[in-house]
Structure 1
Amino acid sequence: MQDNVKQEIEISIVTPMHNEEGCVREFHSRISAALKGMNTTYEILLINDGSTDCTEDIIRELSLNDPNLKGIMLARNRGQCTAIYAGIQESRGQYVVIMDGDLQHKPEEIPSLICEIRKGYDLVSGCRTNRGESMIKRKLPSKIANYLMRTTSGCQVQDMGGLSCLKGKLARSMTLREGQHRLIPALVYSMGGSVSEVPISAPPRFAGKSHYGIGRSIDVLFDIVMLWFQSSFKQRPIYLFGRISLLMFMVASLIMVWLLYGKVFFGEHMGTRPPFMGAILLYLSSLGFMSTGFILESLANTYEAVMGTKTYQIRETISQGIAEKPKN
């Protein structure tokens, strides 16, 4: 019977909340109205990511009168990606919609994503148009980051870090590490999934202050480098470091052959010439890169073995005002 109940939910809304007391009620009102208008079954998962304001109290209050609302209280602040991952793992819907709680993702545009993903796609991303944000602080960095992510991954989604909808089973099978919520379309594409886009609007934040700063742009750059690493070398470190090691070994060997030729035919000394020392350094560097590849390969295998370990802890979940402690 429990399995049948789980299968009845079509749409799961996963929304992280950190100090969003000014947005929670309005978000809940508008997302509830949008989903009720779709005449489908749904659940709303609000993940309180260690808020220090009244966000948690408001979620508890709203859950009293909404059986479709589930509050997930993390033990402490773990960041947006971890909060999203926790919500996905608690979801039960056939489709999982990931959206922000500041209403810069309009709840009224959820139907267009659901309509598109019902065509059989594994993921549908919302492409923001007519963004009214600062060109220097937000729009330009976003354009550059999206271009680099498309180039490195091959995924042609124009706007990867925004509103998205995934098939539920696929979403719950993914293991997201910190920062990878910005790469979800590229990750799905790299897994062989089909992706699509629909245009969405980009209204200003409803209330409160943005949590994004310059540090986020730096983090995105590192995420792109890691995405390139994974996409280009199939998540196998030995492929990358092995190629670098082989290249260094070949260059060093060519230098040695050239020096040996000079010694045999022209009587030139090998050990006193700078190229000889350069070749030795290249041989040592080649050995170092190969060793690094083996070490990272071993670490990757170890990670795969223990990847079931969660990076967050749920303090309690709230449904219809009733608190439930997680099972150990």
Structure 2
Amino acid sequence: MSTIKATVASKHSLSPREPGALPSISVVAPAYNEEEVLETFYERVTNVLTAIGAPYEIVLVNDGSRDNTLAMMHAMRARDDRITVVDLSRNFGKEIALTAGLDHARGDVVVVLDSDLQDPPELIVEMLEGWREGYDVVYGVRSQRDGETWFKKATAKAFYRIIGKISRVQIPQDTGDFRLMTRRAVRELSKLREEHRFMKGLFAWIGFPSKPLFYRRDPRVAGTTKWNYLKLLNLAIEGITSFTITPLKVATLLGSSVALLAFLYACYVISKTIIHGDPVRGYPSLMVTVLFLGGVQLIAIGVLGEYIGRIFNEVKRRPLYLVNRMLPSSLEDAADETSSSARTEQVH
């Protein structure tokens, strides 16, 4: 069992709930080609939720899987009406699939859980303790990451440090999607409908009293990860461009610095030629200078293009996702429902 250490990370005033209070629980799990692990996931989550004794549902989101993932979801739903199956019309990516699951969750609290079981569902019990203390968000912090390469660990650590320095939103370090949220936190999160979604940043943006839960992340139970380094790089770019304009400021500063150096060097060349005379020479240094300036310009244009491309996609106002079919669970709607603005974007 993972070792757990919880500390308070919020100065908000809290309103503790009853010590033995049991909210209805929604577990949201996006899945893309997870046929090898889905049955094990269902069994472990069901065992945990049954032991807790609260009303619950498991919201399974099929993100355009090409294997038997959807068929397995339907089979589970046929024998257990506490499962909601949300079948997206195609593969929209994990961030949007997670959004679809949150939109369809109906519990008083919502737990986001990866279907690969790297985040132990047994920690839901500890998260509920944080909820009873009055927190709206209890998020998992990875104190150790088993089953991952040193390169992935190093780049992930570097990314969290960089975005923590340049973002106006304080995004907790070494934190994934694994967390518990109250209904009001989910409701406010559902109002954020940008297409380029970095969910870890959006989770932090909404604020509310939050508490970390430190745990040891396990390796995958079965199957292979669907993330490669290119996808992780794109996710990092999404995070940086979604929560800071620092790259634009850096490009401006770099361009200004290079222009100033070029002007000073031009003054030096002109004065040297006028005073001392200077034969035509320096072709290698000239080529280096031209290539350097061209590279700086291309980098600045690329950074600018990243932001313009995101503006282009956002202004079209397309729905985040389309639903091919949705099979609801037997869990009754929470008293405080998800805002209607999120529901209107879904096509059933």
8 Å contact kept, 2:58–2:84? yes
1:99 aligns with 2:113: yes
Could you tell me how far apart the structure 2 residues matched to 1:31 and 1:250 are? 61
Could you tell me how far apart the structure 2 residues matched to 1:188 and 1:78 are? 19
Q: 1:125 aligns with which of 137, 140, 158?
A: 140
1:80 aligns with 2:94: yes
Could you tell me how far apart the structure 1 residues matched to 2:263 and 2:72 are? 69
The aligned residue for residue 169 of structure 1 is 187
Q: 1:114 aligns with which of 128, 134, 147?
A: 128
1:319 aligns with 2:328: yes
Q: 1:153 aligns with which of 159, 163, 177?
A: 163
Q: Which has the higher contact order (CA 8 A, sep 6+)?
A: 2
1:247 aligns with 2:257: yes
8 Å contact kept, 1:146–1:160? no
Offset of residue 139 of structure 1: 4.3
1:223 aligns with 2:235: yes
Could you tell me how far apart the structure 1 residues matched to 2:113 and 2:96 are? 14
Deviations 1:265-298 (Å, cap 9, x if unpaired)? 33447x8665677777777777766666665554
Deviations 1:105-142 (Å, cap 9, x if unpaired)? 322211222333564354512426483x3xxxx14234
* Structure 1 pair 308–17 and aligned structure 2 pair: CA distance change class (3 A): same
More divergent stretch after superposition (274-283 vs 122-131): 274-283
Offset of residue 178 of structure 1: 7.8
Deviations 1:72-109 (Å, cap 9, x if unpaired)? 11233444344323222333445432212233332221
Deviations 1:23-47 (Å, cap 9, x if unpaired)? 4344334323423444544432101
Could you tell me how far apart the structure 2 residues matched to 1:20 and 1:287 are? 44
8 Å contact kept, 2:36–2:223? no
3-state SS of 1:46 partner: strand
Offset of residue 315 of structure 1: 1.0
3-state SS of 2:225 partner: coil
3-state SS of 1:104 partner: coil
Identity %: 19
What is the TM-score normalised by the length of structure 1? 0.71
Could you tell me how far apart the structure 2 residues matched to 1:129 and 1:292 are? 35
Residue segments in structure 2 that go unaligned for 5+ positions in a row: 1-21, 165-169, 331-345
Residue segments in structure 1 that go unaligned for 5+ positions in a row: 1-7
3-state SS of 1:115 partner: helix
8 Å contact kept, 2:189–2:202? no
Could you tell me how far apart the structure 2 residues matched to 1:297 and 1:146 are? 23
1:57 aligns with 2:66: no
Q: Which amino acid in 1 is paired with 2:175?
A: M
More divergent stretch after superposition (25-34 vs 121-130): 121-130
- RMSD of aligned alpha carbons: 4.0
The aligned residue for residue 309 of structure 1 is 319
3-state SS of 1:224 partner: helix
Question: Where do 1:188-267 residues align within 5 Å?
Answer: 188-189=203-204, 196-203=211-218, 205-206=220-221, 208-212=222-226, 216-224=228-236, 227-228=239-240, 234-235=244-245, 238-267=248-277
Could you tell me how far apart the structure 2 residues matched to 1:18 and 1:276 are? 52
Deviations 1:183-242 (Å, cap 9, x if unpaired)? x1x554467677543133445544x42234xx61343245335545555xx237642332
Q: Which amino acid in 2 is paired with 1:89?
A: D
Could you tell me how far apart the structure 1 residues matched to 2:25 and 2:153 are? 30
Could you tell me how far apart the structure 1 residues matched to 2:237 and 2:29 are? 27
